[in-house]
Amino acid sequence: MTRQNFTRSIIAAAVLVVAGGAYLHSRNADIGIENANAAVPATVPVAAPAATVSNAAPAVAVATDFSSIVERAGPAVVNISVTGKAKQSAVADQDDDSADADPNDPFSQFFKRFGPQLQIPRHPQIMRGEGSGFIISSDGLILTNAHVVDGAQEVTVKLTDRREFKAKVLGSDKQSDIAVIRIDAKNLPIVQIGNPALTRVGEPVLAIGSPYGFENTATAGIVSAKSRTLPDDTYVPFIQTDVAVNPGNSGGPLFNIKGEVIGINSQIYSQTGGYQGLSFAIPIDVATKVEQQLVAHGKVTRSHLGVAVQEVNQALAESFGLKSAAGALVSSIDRGSPADKGGMQVGDVILRFDGKAINQSADLPGLVADTAPGTSSSIEVMRAGQPKTLTIKLTEATPLKIAGKDNGANSQGRLGLALRELSPDEQQQVGIHGGLVVEDATGPSAVAGIQRGDVILSLNGKPVNSVEQLRQLVSKAGKNVALLVQRDKDKIFVPLNLG
């Protein structure tokens, strides 16, 4: 079981509450298998617009008019068609755990790329797909999503003036889902780039793309939230909107009211594969940093810290003696990594990185990744209630892993755990020293997702080696405690409320 599945099982109950019991379905890249006998879907009628809701001054309340932006920026938005050989052995872009994923686990099918799911073909077939993109330089440089061109043997770009060009993929980065392609053309219209940092929740935004192949379609809405971290994504602080985006919108631009691009539409929350009121865009500043490296080097270089971190909620904040629920809680450290060599410890709460505040765990990966390998960074942590500053030299490697956000299901009562000590052979097998294995979990522990076979490593950052030691720690603990739990090779802090 991977860390991701561990996290999913820990918080599945909480997600079901949030989702109203509905399962969250995933859709991969905007591709489909060519089939001469495929049915043509019927046209879906468009619902009538809702009545305008006005507040204090209904006489001056008017809908946002994006027509001038569409007229000015629309020609810089392109339709992208791809063809290639379909994969024969797996569903596109799934991880190694997908084959045995629990169909009832709402996280097994969550946020994914726009488009129909690629089925496993029996024989080699032609893959065809469509997406969107936009021109960022007049000599033919275009930004789109990596999943739009992934595996493509031929990429065709169509402009609004009906000209078509064969495109070359200069590079793609799956982690950020950004790709750069180029067409042989001059004096092309370009978009204006904005600053996502200035974007405010609630402001109107516009998307232009090719949903279901309907080219140059404009849809509008508002920014619903910023800096969203999604399962399976550890690097991108997504812009969440309620703009209607559908399969084919992938890679298209998200404009602000000034007509500036602030994001690239990339993912949707969907129960059906179509628009459900939640869409996610990659901030354009993240995309342009990737684009510059892809154009210059054909690949993206990022720094590596070597830790897994998780969100600090109120229960964890109280457990670790923090004044507020902020920072990134270190749940595990890779052996031999920069963090390991620099003296970081499990249970440290990272508060600042090179002077920049870490308000939530999602803030850390981007800051680390954007720092040049070889840089010695100053990292401020809270350790056992005391502030401490570490100087850690970053290296080039895989990026940070983010443990899922833990909603910390709380209830009154004791731990509710039946535990025993690990034998020396079991400790060697698991790769730890000490710890207590869970034989049964009830009450708050069961609600929080702790299962039989999990290993309790520490309570509030203090290692536990015996049941009696854990009992004494619990008796001296306050209202909230944080258990460090290991399942297989994955570790995560789980907060419990002891009342």
List active site positions: 147, 177, 250
Phi-psi region of 259 (alpha: psi -120 to 50; beta: other; left: phi over 0): left
Q: What is the CA radius of gyration of the chain?
A: 25
Cα–Cα distance, 205 to 256 (Å, whole number): 5
Q: Computed from CA positions of residues 229, 96, 129, 300, in that sequence, does the dihedral angle turn out positive or negative?
A: positive
Closest CA to 384 of 298, 497, 461, 269: 461
Cα–Cα distance, 167 to 155 (Å, whole number): 5
How many CA atoms lie within 13 Å of 119's alpha carbon, on the beta-carbon side?
A: 8
> Tokens at residue 274, please?
């179509």
Q: Looking at 399-449, list the stretches that DSSP marks H as alpha helix, in order from N- to C-terminal side.
A: 424-430, 443-447
| Amino acid code (one letter) for 223 | V
Instruction: Label the pairing between strands 462-463 and 455-459.
Output: antiparallel
Looking at residue 74, the DSSP 8-state letter turns out to be G
Cβ atoms of 169 and 130 closer than 8 Å: no
3-state secondary structure 319-380: HCCCCCCCCEEEEEECCCCHHHHCCCCCCCEEEEECCEECCCCCHHHHHHHCCCCCCEEEEE
> Tokens at residue 362, please?
């999602």
Cβ atoms of 170 and 298 closer than 8 Å: yes
Cα–Cα distance, 4 to 105 (Å, whole number): 12
Place of tokens 């401020």: 380
